[in-house]
Structure 1
């Protein structure tokens, strides 16, 4: 594979970007690398991500979304269809229902919007290696965008990473290293970051969320939805809340109102926090919805729900499968984790309160991405395979010496 020069392709940073602010305590920090989120919250025993702060520009429309790297390298992400499904709306009991088809992004999931900005930030910092801990979609996206940017990539996964993802990630030239337990991936990323790599995913406990530069990419989903019609509520498949937070930030920036955000989760996590439990706790559970598995909750997810008068709806695997079948019956083949959004909406609409509402479901990935290997079963709450049969994959590339120049 011909590797392009990362330095030659490094995009210009938005000149309006002036700093970062904590989502929890509003502490303002300079534009720099802030590993682990807000340092003041960390000293107080909390974990909170940051958001980017931009200077006002009277020549820029108030409803225009600001991005840290407006000219980031692109594979054609964004601009995904928003499709009306009146027959499904009537069946569920909502006034209007739209499906945001995020599987139409280049690598097949919403992650591409984030990866474009993350890889631009990696270039901005002069990183030569990008690392990510992923169950599949995120790792594939990072691998593809790293290849586009001419950077090396290494994906840390669990031993049960499906063969289809292994092939696709490797095809982009990324290395793969797998572990028996999900949290081992985070320890591996911490080592790589200490060596100078750029982390494209969370690796901290308590969990903080992905680098805020990447989350900015998800604001474009809000902009595209708002350009069509401002809905009453949006249902989002959710693990650690990167997409949820990006939507919250995007609608706040647009300034035309905040739809009620609803997190579809595979077992009670955020719903328990919204009921009063500590977001820093460990939340046990098992699920086949591998894209949104995990035992942690982030402050950014809590903040997004509270700021929109939203809620979290636990969706069991059987309910997600039934929802997937309903979508397939009208032509939309969603992965199990994405179909959970319809199941969550169905549960909310059960009492008849949404008859006059416009709801949007974010369908994050196609059903073709679901696990087909009969040897792969449930995942426990930290994402490890319940019945993984594979041995650890020892694909480890020898990366060049890493230095952090940012």
Structure 2
């Protein structure tokens, strides 16, 4: 018998799960809109050439590509060695590349500084495992057209506000700048060719520690003098006094000679975020000079969303000033932040639906259909959500199922029961 399960790495959602996801998405949308962002929609497929333009990093290797229409067996064999000849379209693997294409298409219709929301599924040919799916939802906000620290500050404040609204207070942002990271690697003496591999290793610092990073860099065959200099920097004596986020903390975490303009940009983000979050004692940022983030299109600030309840990040993003120029022919500053919806949805505290009640009308078999439908319509008109259920022998099981589906009350209905005689009882 053929399997009736969904494809590997993809999931069905039962009504209660779907309702929970939609409640969380509604909060995210509402908070994003409150901060001045406007929602857009892009197609689930994009041109193969745009998805494989060298700006999507490793995600390009995980793209699901669509076979060109009209190819027969001979055509497929002839094009077997050339993916671009086999496919002309592909499923989007993130929402950033489609946004860049969208902006290039509609620039004349958009404001000078455009703040976008995109909440939609994306697809990646991942190896399915716990917490990693082939279809998942991304929740992105982006600001295009603003090169100042204001853009990053707006994204950070909106994202933390959204986390608070979901009941996950106490979040913070780890922040770095790819220009700082590149400057460090140059200063230590790593070559441009070995930099991608070096960044992959540095990204493991939290897991394998300084000694593990240095050992792996040596195994990779990175420039020996650069590895030695980097190792000396990692093992340098550090004072233990508390330094709040700001210029002193940033400069102490970096080698001498860090670019003044980059440091000033990072400081400005912190000052703006602090002002929005309650003052200098409430800066929700932590400077991390070894934060990497894997996307190759990042050109400046990068950040990750942290929460004390979990060890992994709940989202992240960064500045990608060079991407839109690949479509438009001229660079446009852009920065984005994505909340990891699939990670957050399981952390959000359960909460009953706000607003209207949800009612189950349990009726006897002999109640005329016209009476049932009229009674249901009257309750719906009063603002309730209503389900009709015929009474069963196991009424307890019926009501427990209704409660698991989000219903909050029930009433029993006999033939001739008027609207004003319906007595609602709580389900829990």
Q: Which has the higher contact order (CA 8 A, sep 6+)?
A: 1
**Shared fold (TM-score, shorter chain, > 0.5):** no
Q: TM class, shorter-chain normalised?
A: under 0.3
Name the TM-score, length of structure 1 as normaliser: 0.27
Structure whose residues are more often helix by fraction:
2
Name the larger-Rg structure. 2
